[in-house]
């Protein structure tokens, strides 16, 4: 299911979409009390943890994928824990601040995952959670046009059953966290400009997540046409030697009340 897509992609994620996800780090940082200890759940390859450490926050990190854990270790010097939501190998009520950045949109059981976040938060603690909104992002539109131009097949993509899913919006994420017994105190849509090299983008769309599922469904001839269509599509997106995309996510801040 959705979580399985995170096996064997740590290196390519790190070279592609990690810089996209890291763009929200400034929005996370401004919401943190100075010096607050942070548990980074689903830490990926450690870009957000790096930003947190640079801003003076003690950080603990956890991710279910051993390669992600290894990348975070080498990038930050932290000793991340291997484990995932909903049953994090973290003590009850132990975290002052939990960051779950672009994680709840990738889990198989979002409600159970939200409850797993709450369990590790101390009463009075807060969580900062981000997801991607439901509308297609600009880089998704570019890639979709490339696939169409190349006549690519569109495989069925892994989707959560409707009864497990939640709306990918500020209200939807707030509702998910509220359903787990947390109190949303802010919901917003931070925006930033993602700059990525054409080769970095290519590495991501040919390996990570649903992009990778679609790529793996193509035969060699179609893959060659996709590459040609991609190379022919870049100019409008280039600023110097980087592609630039104006992206937006959903960020919700929620607190755990006293029990």
Ligand X SMILES: C[S@@+](CC[C@H](N)C(=O)[O-])C[C@H]1O[C@@H](n2cnc3c(N)ncnc32)[C@H](O)[C@@H]1O
What token pair was written down for 199? 């080769």
Q: Say how many C-beta atoms besides its own lie within 10 A of residue 56's C-beta.
A: 11
Q: Judged by CB, which is closer to ligand X: 61, or 150?
A: 61
- Minimum Å distance from CB 233 to ligand X? 24
Least CB distance to ligand X at residue 27 (A): 12
Please identify, using beta-carbon distances, which residue of 106 and 256 lies nearer to ligand X.
106
To the nearest 10 degrees (0 to 180), the angle between helices 198-205 and 209-216 is 70
90 vs 150 by CB, closer to ligand X: 90
- Whether the bond between 237 and the residue before it is cis, its omega within 30 degrees of 0, is no
SS3 244: strand
Q: If you ran DSSP here, which 8-state letter would residue 80 be given?
A: P
- Alpha helix ranges (H) inside 129-251: 138-149, 170-179, 198-205, 209-216, 220-233
Closest contact distance (angstroms) between CB of 69 and ligand X is 9
- Which is nearer to ligand X, 152 or 251 (by Cβ)? 251
DSSP bridge pairs for 194: 245
| CB 87, CB 108: distance < 8 Å | no
In the complex, minimum distance from the CB of residue 56 to ligand X, in angstroms, rounded to a whole number = 19
Minimum distance from CB of 220 to ligand X (Å)? 29
> With contact defined as beta carbons under 8 Å apart, do 90 and 82 qualify?
no
Nearer to ligand X, 57 or 150 (CB): 57
Question: Three-state SS for 73?
Answer: helix
Q: Of 154, 165, 143, 135, which Cα lies nearest the Cα of 17?
A: 143
Q: For residue 106, count other CB atoms closer than 10 A to its CB.
A: 18
Residue number with CB closer to ligand X (46 or 184) = 46
DSSP state of 106: S
Of residues 103 and 127, the one with the C-beta less far from ligand X: 103
Query: What is the number of the residue whose Cβ is closest to ligand X?
Result: 44
Q: Which residues bind ligand X (CB under 6 A)?
A: 3, 6, 18, 21-22, 41-44, 47-48, 63-65, 68, 84-85, 101-103, 106-107
CB of 71 to ligand X, least distance (A): 9
Q: Which positions ≥6 away from 64 have C-beta within 8 Å?
A: 3, 6, 42, 82, 83, 84
Min CB(120)–ligand X separation in Å: 12
């Amino acid at each position: 299911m959705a979580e399985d897509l995170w096996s064997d992609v740590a290196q390519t994620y790190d070279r592609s979409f990690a810089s996209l996800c890291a763009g929200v780090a400034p929005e996370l940082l401004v919401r943190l009390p100075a010096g607050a200890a942070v548990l980074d759940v689903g830490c990926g390859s450690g870009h957000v943890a790096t930003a947190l450490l640079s801003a003076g926050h003690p950080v603990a990190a956890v991710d279910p994928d051993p390669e992600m854990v290894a990348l975070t270790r080498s990038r930050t010097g932290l000793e991340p824990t291997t484990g995932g939501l909903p049953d994090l190998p973290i003590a009850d009520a132990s975290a002052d601040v939990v960051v779950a950045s672009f994680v709840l949109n990738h889990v198989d059981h979002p409600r159970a995952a939200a409850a797993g976040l709450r369990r590790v938060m101390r009463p009075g603690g807060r969580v900062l959670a981000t997801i991607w909104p439901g509308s297609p992002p600009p880089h998704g539109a570019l890639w979709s046009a490339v696939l169409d131009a190349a006549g690519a097949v569109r495989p069925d993509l892994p989707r959560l059953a409707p009864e497990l899913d939640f709306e990918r919006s500020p209200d939807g994420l707030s509702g998910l966290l509220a359903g787990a017994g947390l109190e949303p105190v802010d919901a917003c849509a931070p925006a930033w400009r993602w700059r990525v090299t054409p080769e970095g983008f290519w590495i991501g769309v040919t390996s990570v997540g649903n992009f990778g599922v679609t790529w793996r469904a193509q035969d060699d001839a179609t893959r060659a046409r996709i590459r040609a269509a991609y190379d022919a599509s870049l100019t409008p997106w280039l600023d110097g030697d980087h592609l630039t995309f104006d992206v937006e996510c959903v960020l919700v801040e929620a607190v755990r009340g006293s029990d």
